[in-house]
């Protein structure tokens, strides 16, 4: 329990608004709940949320200590009262989540706190009691792979330090098979094949460029593709990442003359565009370990897939993933 004394400069504020400022990590819904349950008391008694405070009032706050910490990326999960996750698979070591387009995987600035995928994953595990940050000071559940904000699909989260170490090694060794679905403009020729080149990243413009010739700072990039369906000048394509570079599929398809539907960064959007972000989804993941995977060996050979992809349903309704 912590006590706060209302000073003259804070007098006149509503009880709930004062506590929200004093305990910024406490979710608004939890704040209101605690007031109703009288876990927030005014001069030793329960009070309504709209009670106006006066100088000298003493608030008794029966709230967990962690909510009084300074807000930062590491504790943003505390601001998530009701985690929202589309879980594909979960066990004691890992969590596979279907991230929907529009959500960032990690916070880029303070405005993102409490909204990103990692915030919701950590809040979920914290609420379940599987992660106790006060006891496990050196480890926090972490993402093993990232996808762009406007790309949807499977993201892997490690629930233990050992799982994180192993998965990072396996991803680096390319022992995970990740498949993407994309809609591209036109028809690829041949209908199946491999796109190869060199990818150069411009960090200032946050975009990449694909070239046929190597150049300083460039990295090799390779994507295997297969056309699944063609309709109305668009192709539904499955892509397999051989290398995993920033914006790789988007940039390579655009360089091949087939930008992704809705991709304004690497293609051109008409004014009446029906989609304004890339039609790209990491829809299938296979654990294809070639070496010992320790506590994760049971995953070897297993494939996980999302149930639905919005743009497939809209543009290729006859196709079943």
Using alpha carbons only, give the angle 75, 79, 85 rounded to the nearest 5 degrees.
95
Residue 178, SS3 per DSSP: strand
Instruction: State the average pLDDT for the chain.
Output: 94
Let me know how long the chain is.
321
pLDDT of residue 110: 52
SS (H, E, C) 266-294: CCCCCCCCCCCCCCEEEEEEEECCCCCCH
- Nearest Cα to Cα of residue 16 among 30, 29, 32: 32
Q: How far is CA 41 from CA 27, 44, 46, 56, 139, in A?
A: 18, 5, 5, 14, 35
Percent of the chain with pLDDT over 90: 84
Fold identical between 2-68 and 176-315? no
pLDDT of residue 206: 84
CATH 3.10.290.10 fits 2-68, yes or no: yes
For 47-72, the pLDDT digits (tens) are: 999 999 999 999 999 999 889 988 88
For 301-310, the pLDDT digits (tens) are: 999 999 999 9
Peptide bond into 190 cis (omega under 30): yes
Q: Which CATH superfamily is domain 176-315 in?
A: Pseudouridine synthase (3.30.2350.10)
* Domain range summary for the chain, segments of one domain joined by +: 2-68, 73-172, 176-315
| pLDDT higher at 185 or 206 | 185
Architecture (CATH level 2) of domain 73-172: 2-Layer Sandwich (3.30)
Residue 242, pLDDT > 80, answer: yes
pLDDT of residue 171: 95
For 73-129, the pLDDT digits (tens) are: 888 899 998 999 999 999 999 999 999 999 999 876 555 778 899 999 999 999 999
The H-or-E segment that residue 167 falls in is helix 161-172
- The pTM assigned to this predicted structure is 0.85
């Amino acid at each position: 329990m912590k006590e706060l004394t209302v000073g003259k400069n804070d007098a006149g504020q509503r009880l709930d608004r004062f506590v929200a400022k004093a305990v910024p990590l406490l979710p608004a819904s939890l704040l209101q709940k605690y007031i109703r349950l009288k876990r927030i008391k005014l001069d030793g008694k329960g009070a309504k949320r709209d009670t106006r405070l006066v100088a000298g009032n003493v608030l008794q706050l029966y709230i967990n200590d962690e909510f009084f910490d300074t807000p930062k990326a590491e504790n943003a999960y505390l601001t998530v009262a009701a985690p929202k996750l589309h879980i594909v698979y979960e066990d004691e070591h890992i969590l596979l989540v279907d991230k929907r387009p529009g959500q960032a995987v990690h916070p880029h600035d303070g405005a993102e706190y409490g909204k990103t995928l990692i915030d919701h994953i950590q809040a979920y595990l914290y609420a379940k009691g599987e992660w106790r940050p006060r006891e496990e000071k050196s480890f926090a559940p972490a993402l093993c792979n990232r996808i762009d904000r406007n790309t949807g699909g499977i993201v892997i989260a490690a629930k233990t330090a050992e799982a994180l170490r192993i998965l990072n090694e396996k991803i680096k060794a390319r022992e995970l098979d990740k498949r993407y679905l994309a809609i591209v403009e036109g028809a690829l020729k041949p209908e199946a094949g491999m796109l190869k080149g060199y990818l150069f990243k411009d960090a200032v413009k946050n975009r990449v460029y694909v070239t046929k010739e190597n150049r300083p700072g460039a990295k090799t990039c390779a994507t295997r593709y297969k056309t699944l369906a063609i309709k109305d000048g668009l192709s539904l394509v499955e892509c397999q990442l051989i290398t995993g570079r920033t914006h790789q599929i988007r940039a390579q398809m655009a360089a091949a003359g087939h930008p992704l539907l809705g991709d304004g960064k690497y293609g051109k959007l008409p004014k009446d565009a029906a989609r304004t972000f890339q039609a790209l989804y990491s829809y299938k993941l296979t654990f294809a370990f070639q070496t010992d995977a320790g506590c994760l060996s049971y995953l070897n050979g297993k494939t996980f897939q999302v149930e639905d992809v919005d743009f497939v349903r809209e543009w290729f309704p006859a196709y079943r993933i």
